[in-house]
Amino acid sequence: MSPRGMPVTGSAAAPRHATFAEKFATLTMKAYYLLTVPIAIAFILTSSRIHSAYRMTFFRKLGLGLRMFWNKHRLPTATSFKAHLAMALKILEVAPDVPGDVVECGTWKGGSAANLSLVCRIVGRKLKIYDSFQGLPEGERGDREAKFYAKGDYCGTLGEVRENIARAGAIECCEFVPGWFQDTLPKHSSPVLLAFLDVDLEASLDVCVRHLWPHLIDRGYIFIDEFLRLDYCSLFFSEEYWKRYFQRTPPGLIGGGLGLALGEYYIGPEEERPDHPTQHATAAAYTRKDMSAYWTFYNSGSSGPASDPGSPRS
């Protein structure tokens, strides 16, 4: 398999060259992306819920968005600046007297962390960055995502990450927590406003959710980057998972399978992406602690669930 699960036709297969129509379509997509940057910033950051204490005027929003866009293209990051803007919006909408850190799990070279740190500076919050700084771990048995990666993929050393954030972000807002998630996250103790999990593996997602969810504030957020993988996203809809670990209904996931609606054109599914050269999913999907995605209606000819796993806020 090639990266992100696209099938390889065989080692002896001749490389397929893009047609003129495909090249033109790709160029058009890139031009659209570039030309709509100011529009995307304005649309994503337009909200009556942004707290007045942050004094986010039109020009401050534009400046933040343009800096995020520039950082996306000068620092290695696998996520869209639009996803960073979406997370910024959710952080800006929370009043400054509400407690909660911003957490990033899996930072690679620090590109997304640099952008999140800029928001943290505006709102006066801490950004806690959890990463092994050795790349991905060895895949565990039963992890369906492990076959797409090798141990050490997406490695950024602590020195590289610190240097990148110091150059492009607000390093004074950052706290670095090196180590494997199963060793570091059980020690997390502070309230969490928003956690961004870009961790690739199912085993890593499981560890992050189990140890960070209890620390989320009542309307706190978890954003993920592996939003196209339906099996991966299914954790947030699994009744068994949420009943087993949290005695509550699953929270669901906004953007699961497609990504958030941030001005791109994408129909899916993921395995058909090579057939649609102008389609591009933006990045990120999210859930919120008070959400619930639990089916309760059964017609009179069927039996209902044996028990209710609990309320969303339990």
Q: Give 196-222 pLDDT, tens digit per residue.
A: 999 999 999 999 999 999 999 999 999
Higher pLDDT, 62 or 305: 62
Q: By percentage, how much of the chain surpasses pLDDT 70?
A: 90
Q: Is residue 286 over pLDDT 80?
A: yes
Going 285 to 287 to 291 to 295, the CA torsion angle's sign is positive
Helix, strand, coil percentages in the chain from 3-state DSSP, rounded to 5: 40, 10, 45
Q: Is residue 152 over pLDDT 70?
A: yes
Distance from C-alpha of 262 to C-alpha of 103, rounded to nearest angstrom: 22
Tell which residue, 135, 163, 150, has the closest CA to residue 75: 163
For residue 1, what pLDDT band results from cuts at 50, 70 and 90?
very low
Enter the tokens of residue 196: 């961004």
Mean pLDDT on 179-188: 98
What mean pLDDT value characterizes the chain? 91
For residue 291, the number of C-alpha atoms closer than 13 Å in the C-beta half-sphere is: 16
Q: Is residue 145 over pLDDT 60?
A: yes
Amino acid at 44: I
Higher pLDDT, 300 or 175: 175
For residue 19, what pLDDT band results from cuts at 50, 70 and 90?
confident
Q: Is residue 3 over pLDDT 70?
A: no
Q: Is residue 141 over pLDDT 80?
A: yes
Would you call 34 helix, strand, or coil by DSSP? helix
Distance from C-alpha of 245 to C-alpha of 10, rounded to nearest angstrom: 42
For residue 303, what pLDDT band results from cuts at 50, 70 and 90?
low
Q: Which residues make beta-bridge pairs with 224? A: 197, 285
Distance from C-alpha of 150 to C-alpha of 153, rounded to nearest angstrom: 6
Tokens 């941030």 sit on residue: 262
Q: Is residue 4 over pLDDT 60?
A: no
Mean pLDDT on 78-100: 97
Q: Is residue 59 over pLDDT 60?
A: yes
pLDDT single digits (tens) 247-283: 999 999 999 999 999 988 899 998 998 888 888 888 8
For residue 8, what pLDDT band results from cuts at 50, 70 and 90?
very low
Domains observed in the chain: 20-288 (3.40.50.150)
Tell which residue, 203, 197, 233, 229, has the closest CA to residue 140: 203
Write down the pLDDT at residue 307: 59
For residue 29, what pLDDT band results from cuts at 50, 70 and 90?
confident
For residue 128, what pLDDT band results from cuts at 50, 70 and 90?
very high
Write down the pLDDT at residue 306: 56
Write down the pLDDT at residue 304: 56
- Order of strands, sheet of 216-224, starting from the edge strand that comes earlier in the sequence: 174-178, 127-131, 101-105, 192-197, 216-224, 285-288
Q: Is residue 232 over pLDDT 90?
A: yes
Range in 3-12, 148-157, 241-250 the model is least confident about: 3-12
